[in-house]
Structure 1
Amino acid sequence: MERSSRYCKLTYEEIAERYLSGQSSEEISAAAGVTSRSVRRILNKLNVEMRPHGSWKRKHTLNEDYFKHWSDKMAYLLGFFVADGCVSGELQTISFSQNDKAILEDIRNELGSTHKIYTDKRTNVHTLYIHSKIMKNDLMNHHGIQSNKSKTIEFPHIPDQYISHFIRGYFDGDGHINYKKYQVSFVGGSEPFMNSLAQILTNKKIKNYSRSYSNHYRVFISGRRTIQEFANFIYQDKNIYLERKYQEFTKELLPIEILKDRDRVQ
């Protein structure tokens, strides 16, 4: 995460997060150890919509109790958040980030939110920041998602009828498909989470294998037939999903009944 200078105590992302959570540029400048003008310059660079000087913080609408109640769509959003979400350590804020802005607009609509999606012009990553103590507490206390989740998160307890939607959400965030190689993969930093994911796929009769790397773990699904079995599993009764990943699976023109996997080289 980039800093505006070696004297600034906050990253660009932390400055944007604080501003979108309602802090003034003066409050942020005090925390960052730079001038208010520098803060405003960074916000302009990140394409963050500025509030009129001296205005009250805008009040946004939001279904703050959204993560209290299970549904197909809630399970998807929870899976997506585990992959591409962030719980702020200091502020009462959560955020979703993605290269695809359309999926964040779908998520925002599902949450009943009017919060703005901002775009980092340097990376073209879009972020939806949501300021809600209730939603943050629910994600932490009901679903075990902490601010330092990437290395420590355990697989949440998901009722079985929602597990395909949760995995679709996680796949849309931290999953990859290479259709030419007939391979799907998931990446994550938490070994317990990835082990649980692999076991759930096995329980669903979806063949997979795992690999451990120096700072992350991967779960692979390979084979022409098996990746279609996986697609049938996660897209059953689909509602919210990332269109570009879904379209990769539709490149298969043959019916699944006649598809076969090649033997995998060990």
Structure 2
Amino acid sequence: MARIRGMTDEKIIELYKNGLPYEKLCPMVGLSDRAIRNIIKKHGIDRRSTGRPRIHQVNELFFQTWSPEMAWVLGLLLTDGHVSKTNQSIYLSQKDEDLLRKVGILMGAEPVIAKPSGTRTIPMLIINSKIIRADLERLGMTTAKSYTVIFPEVPEAYLPAFIRGVIDGDGWVDRNGYRMNITTASNEFAIGFKAVLERWGLKSTISTIDETATKSIYRVWIKGKYQLLRLANIIYEKCDTNFVVHKRDRMNFHRNSDNSKLIAKFETAEGRVNFRTTINAHLLNQLKQNARYKDMHVNHLLESYIESFLNENTTTVIKTTLRKDRIHFKTTYKKELLNNVRSFAKENGLFINEVIEYSILNSGDS
């Protein structure tokens, strides 16, 4: 394709600045879109965004001034959001479309929400802004942030809102208000998150899940109903409606006396379930001896070991080589405790009987 006579660089730049799209500009000047981009670059002209055109307005200064709302949205985006590699779009994925609309409104936009399609199974909020993208990159949100995102320097006054956003994005809260964790692939982010919790006087631990030989997943934990209640006091104060409802309710579970009565039911036979598995014969024999020594039922002692292991385990779970002489063991367990064992086993790539065995080993009585 040859340049049309009279189409100087200056003329091409003038047409480009007037907003003429490439599909019209190329035949008019006789050059390919790549050649036109080279001219634009050579003369130091700012290129127009090639991303999805923004249909609705957005407050492009939203991330330039700290506020509780800005900090909460930042926490959500650093965990559940991502930026496009090819344009100026920012995306936030959440099952709750109402939450996506709320974020859009806080950002001064009439939300553009993409419905699930193809391999994407949940709705997605789309915000298009070169300025917002640049501000988010300054705050640590890059196109490949999963393993490299840092814990941003958030002013102390806005940390509760930011932590709430992180929990709303990548957090999990036990439905009975005993445990909470956030999951991240960035060790630096995990350490920063844990440091904030500890500055607030909360007991926090980090566990590691080895995903590959070179990359790990980190979970930052808070365990214990009183710890969760204290965290809830901090992050839900004066937060308006900017939170995921079921996570707030689970964290506050033990404020309701009726809920405490519900939990107490699991201490009775009514709330117990039978479960059969195989356990290392030596450990099972040790468990029975300890139960006789303590004048306790075997299953009650085992449950105390399991609860202690689940609540106090602070390091990476490493599979221990045990002798293979496992034998069948059937007893009853509190239903909720058994569900927690199943969850813990799944999270750490273990079998249920291994969790039971490690609980006995971890007890100090074995």
The corresponding residue for 1:248 is 250
Greater relative CO, 1 or 2 (CA 8 Å, sep 6+): 1
Q: Where does 1:143-158 land on structure 2 (aligned, <5 Å)?
A: 143-158=139-154
User: 1: distance between equivalents of 2:251 and 2:82?
Assistant: 29
CA contact (8 A) 2:54 2:127 kept: no
Q: What is the CA–CA distance in structure 2 between the aligned matches of 1:57 and 1:178, rounded to whole Å?
A: 41
Asked if 1:137 is matched to 2:134, the reply is: yes
Structure 1 position 181, deviation (Å): 6.4
Q: So what's the TM-score if we normalise by structure 2?
A: 0.53
**2:108 match:** 112
Moved over 2 A (4+): 56-59, 121-124, 262-266
Q: Which moved more, 1:234-243 or 1:185-194?
A: 234-243
Partners of 1:59 and 1:222 in 2: CA distance: 45
Matching of residue 128 in structure 1 with residue 130 in structure 2: no
2:62 counterpart of 1:66: yes
Equivalent in the alignment of 2:237: 236
Aligned partner of 1:73: which letter? E
Measure, in 2, the Cα distance between the counterparts of 1:57 and 1:196. Answer: 36
User: Partner residue of 2:326?
Assistant: none
Match of 1:210 among 200, 206, 212: 206
Structure 1 residues 202, 119: closer, same or farther in 2, change over 3 A?
same
- The change in CA–CA distance for 1:230 and 1:64 in structure 2 (over 3 A counts) is same
Report Cα offsets for 1:20-52 as digits up to 9, x if no partner. Answer: xxxxxx9xxxxxxxxxxxxxxxxxxxxxxxxxx
Q: TM-score, normalised by structure 1?
A: 0.72
Name the aligned partner's letter for residue 154 of structure 1. I
Question: Which amino acid letter does the alignment assign opposite residue 95 of structure 1?
Answer: Y
- Residue type matched to 1:99 in 2? K
Name stretches of at least 5 consecutive residues in structure 2 with no aligned partner: 1-22, 24-51, 211-215, 258-306, 314-366
The answer as to 2:177 corresponding to 1:177 is: no
Q: Is the 8 A contact 2:177 2:228 kept in 1?
A: no
Residue of structure 1 equivalent to 2:84: 88
Q: Which structure: greater helix fraction?
A: 2
Q: What is the aligned partner in structure 2 of residue 227 from structure 1?
A: 228
- Letter in structure 1 aligned against 2:122: V
C-alpha displacement of 1:140 = 0.7
Aligned to 1:201: 197
Quote the RMSD (CA, aligned, Å): 2.2
| Conserved 8 A contact 2:105-2:111 | no
Quick check: 2:207–2:219 contact (8 Å CA) kept in 1?
A: yes
1:187 is aligned to 2:188: no
* Alignment size in residue pairs: 206
- Alpha-carbon offset, residue 200 of structure 1: 1.0
Secondary structure at 1:150's aligned position in 2?
Answer: coil
Residue 188 of structure 1 deviates from its aligned partner by 0.3
- Partners of 1:72 and 1:130 in 2: how far apart? 20
Distance change in 2, residues 1:58/1:83 (3 Å): closer
Deviation at 1:251, TM superposition (A): 2.5
Unaligned runs of 5+ residues in structure 1 are 1-25, 27-55, 255-261
Amino acid at match of 1:192: E
- Which amino acid counterpart does residue 140 of structure 1 have in structure 2? E
Q: Percent identity?
A: 30
* Residue number in structure 2 paired with 1:44: none
Partners of 1:135 and 1:58 lie apart in 2 by 13
Equivalent position of 1:161 in the other structure: 157
Relative to 1, partners in 2 of residues 1:120 and 1:205: Cα closer, same or farther, differing over 3 Å?
A: same
Aligned to 1:154, the other structure's residue is in SS state coil
Cα shift at 1:114 = 2.1
Match of 1:38 in 2: none
Kindly indicate whether the alpha-carbon contact (under 8 Å) linking 2:176 and 2:253 is maintained by their aligned counterparts in 1: no
Structure 2: distance between partners of 1:188 and 1:96: 16
Rg (Cα) greater in structure: 2
Partner SS state of residue 99, structure 1: coil
C-alpha separation in 2, matches of 1:63 and 1:180: 39
Query: Which string of whole-angstrom CA distances, capped at 9 and with x for unpartnered residues, describes residues 101-133 of structure 1?
Result: 111010011111124201215654110111110
SS at match of 1:77: helix
AA aligned opposite 1:118: A
Change (3 A) 1:79 1:57: closer
* Distance change >3 Å, CA 112–CA 217, structure 1 → 2: same
Moved more, 109-118 or 191-200: 109-118
Query: Given residue 226 of structure 1, which amino acid in structure 2 is its aligned partner?
Result: Q
CA distance in 1, matches of 2:156, 2:65: 15
Q: Secondary structure at the match of 1:91?
A: coil
